[in-house]
Structure 1
Amino acid sequence: MSIYSIKDLEQLSGIKAHTLRIWEQRYDILRPNRTDTNIRTYDDGDLKLVLNIALLKEHGYKISEISKMTPETMSKEVVKISDQQLSYPDQIHALTLSMLDLDEERFEKIINTNTIQYGFETMMINIIYPFLSRIGTLWVTGSIGPAQEHFISNLVRQKIIVAIDGQLATLKPGAKKFLLCLPEGELHELSLLFGNYIIRARQNKVIYLGQSLPFSELLFAYKVHKPDYIFSVITSVPGPDEVQSYVYELSNAFPEAKILLSGYQVVGQDIDCPENVRILIQMKELGGIVAGN
């Protein structure tokens, strides 16, 4: 069972910590445990309760009404709402609940329904990415266990691979060549895989080298393929003390290529970008670059 702080609940549910405290005092709807220093802590049941409340509130239920519901009644109302057409934030709440319960059937229903309605790329950008972003800090801090992280990551990975396999192999006239890889030691592959999908969907050429590629092998692959672009995602490696020098190394080693970077270690950081390097804040920017070839 995971232990959450009140800030964890705020990040996962979107409900402010101040509001959670008021609910606790006014409605007795939450009963957190407390540490020896009187700091509130919450368990999986508390998190599910807050996510369910958030979903009900967004659909017009008043907190005074919700506080009087039994767990069974609340669950029935949430299921009733989940069977309707949900907004993007609602879907993110539902995915979070499926992760906590390791509920593959619920995950599949959410993803398949939204893929049919919006298309795979729109579903990924508006639902999966905000969802992964919301819980990412909790993975790093250990508030969510490895089983839950692996469960969701592997399901999302499978969906992307199936979508890639379903694409046409034809290239458009004047197609550009993209080399995709992660730095040595970097294993967070979902964004790179999705980048693969985005580029192929616009009928460009992809050389996909995947996780943890030594720099010497990147040099070798570049000499063989001479790509127009190199795309990489830096989530954890290299870390903050080495990432700037790594950006310079890429720029100097491949002066004729356009280097596209994304990921936690470069987005929103004070990275000095040489002329041939661009940092992508959101994955939809990659689609714009590829379409503009």
Structure 2
Amino acid sequence: MNNIKSVFSINDLENLSGIKAHTIRMWEKRYTIFSPNRNTNNVRFYTTNDLKKILTIAFLNNFGYKISKIAKLSETEIISLAQKIYSDKTDSNFAISKFKLSMFNFDAKLFHETYDKLLETKDFEIIFYEVFIPLLDEIGFLWQTETLTPIHEHFISSLIRQKLFAEIEQAQKNANFSSNEVYVLFLPMGEIHEIGIILVNYLLLKKNKQVVYLGENVPMENLTTVVHHFNKVNFVSYFTVQPEEENLNTYLDTFHQNILVNSPHKLLVLGKQVHNFTSFIPSIQCFTSIKQMLNTI
């Protein structure tokens, strides 16, 4: 069972805010911006309120406000100043900070309020590319450094999926398919990172492409059923952790032999596992980004 993280080390604050640990220590000593507690080993630890404060200070610092000026403000004044700048410039970095706070506090209301504020000046696609994708990249880093636990990622990912599915529903209602081609979206067995392929679903619908979404953990043999229903199938998958690097060639070769050979069908692959991979099978294409793939369609 994973414990909810409510106590943070100075390295956690560095990872989350981008402000170096030695700078945070200097600010503590010179400006008394924090009064961290210490554990039995005399090591500093910080609270969720400290995390909220350092994220806000980092935001102001990025906009040119010096710590000497910030330190003279009350916590209420710091928050008000950050909100004014956010209102004036609708900055994506501040939204990312708020989403991170939402994640650590399990605060769905803050997530929705921040998202609705973004919608006042940006459309959904821009929000996803400018805010959600950088946020998810940061979450991946924070997980690797053990700054957060899987339950934090699950919480924020579920909220992002809600927004995606709401947009997909509207796109499906407005769809006007431009050809007889179909795009079949799936994740292989063992692959559970679904947000990337859900975004592909939305973007293909926006391009008036017919989409069949099959979701995660799809056995390869089940895909043979799909080809009997459509004349031309473009399979699309997103390899984040599966297949593992040493099994990638085998998976793609098997996919080609069982589904693609002597047919007009194709497989388009995205994700971290194929970023440095080149397919020599003409009917299989690998891409480093969703935008790169969409430019070929």
Fold in common (TM above 0.5): yes
Are 2:83 and 1:76 aligned? no
Distance 1:258 1:38 in 2: 60
2:185 counterpart SS class: strand
Q: CA deviation at 1:194?
A: 0.9
**Higher deviation after alignment, 218-227 or 194-203:** 218-227
Which residue of the partner structure matches residue 266 of structure 1?
274
Structure 2 contact 196–238 (Cα < 8 Å) conserved: yes
1:148-167 mapped onto 2 (5 Å cutoff) = 148-167=152-171
TM-score after normalising by structure 2:
0.82
Alpha-carbon distance change, 7 to 199 in structure 1, aligned in 2, over 3 angstroms: farther
Q: Look up the match of 2:140.
A: 136
Normalized against structure 1, the TM-score is what?
A: 0.83
Contact 1:261 1:279 in 2 (8 A): yes
Counterparts of 1:42 and 1:98, CA distance in 2: 17
Tell me if the contact between 1:95 and 1:107 (Cα under 8 Å) persists in the aligned partners. yes
Is 1:276–2:280 an aligned residue pair? no
Matching residue within 184, 195, 201 for 2:206:
201
Alpha-carbon spacing, 1:78–1:238, altered in 2? closer, same or farther (3 Å): same
**1:17 Cα deviation after fit:** 4.5
CA distance in 1, matches of 2:233, 2:93: 37
Indicate how the Cα distance of structure 1 residues 94 and 265 shifts in structure 2: closer, same or farther if over 3 A, else same: same
Among all aligned residue pairs of Structure 1 and Structure 2, give the percentage whose two residues are the same amino acid. 32
String of CA shifts for 1:36-75, please: whole Å, max 9, x gaps: 9988765533332221111111333211122333333323
How big is each residue's C-alpha offset from its partner over 1:152-182, in whole Å with a ceiling of 9 and x where there is no partner? Answer: 111111111111111212112x353211000
Distance 1:276 1:201, change over 3 A: same
**Contact kept in structure 1, 2:278 and 2:286, CA below 8 Å:** no
2:230 and 2:250 map into 1 onto residues whose CA distance is 25
The whole-number CA distance in structure 2 between the counterparts of 1:219 and 1:11 is: 45
> Residues 217, 141 of structure 1: CA spacing in aligned structure 2 closer, same or farther, 3 A cutoff?
farther
Tell me the amino acid that sits aligned with residue 286 of structure 2. I
Counterpart code for 1:289: T
Number of residues paired by the alignment?
287
RMSD (Å) for aligned C-alpha atoms: 2.9
Aligned-partner SS, 1:238 = coil
Q: How many Å separate the matches in 1 of 2:247 and 2:188?
A: 12
Does structure 1 conserve the Cα–Cα contact (< 8 Å) formed by 2:187 and 2:237? yes
* Structure 2 residues without counterparts, runs of 5 or longer: none
Could you tell me which residue of structure 2 aligns to residue 62 of structure 1? Answer: 66
Unaligned 5+ segments in structure 1 are: none
Q: Distance in 2 between matches of 1:283 and 1:51?
A: 30
- Aligned equivalent of 2:219: 214
Q: In the alignment, which residue of structure 2 is the partner of 1:287?
A: 294
Partner of 2:51: helix, strand, or coil?
A: helix
Instruction: Read off the aligned partner of 2:255 and give its amino acid letter.
Output: L
Corresponding residue SS for 1:281: coil
- Kindly report which structure 2 residues correspond to 1:7-156, keeping only aligned pairs within 5 A, or say none: 8-17=12-21, 19-30=23-34, 42-139=46-143, 142-156=146-160
Provide the rounded CA distance (Å) in 1 between the counterparts of 2:291 and 2:120: 19
Provide the rounded CA distance (Å) in 1 between the counterparts of 2:184 and 2:135.
27
Asked if structure 2 preserves the Cα contact closer than 8 Å seen for 1:176 and 1:228, the reply is yes
Note closer, same or farther for the CA distance 1:288–1:18 as it changes in structure 2 (3 Å cut): farther
How far off is 1:210 after superposition? Answer: 0.7
Q: In the alignment, residue 260 of structure 1 is paired with which amino acid?
A: L
Does the residue aligned with 1:107 lie in a helix, a strand or coil?
helix
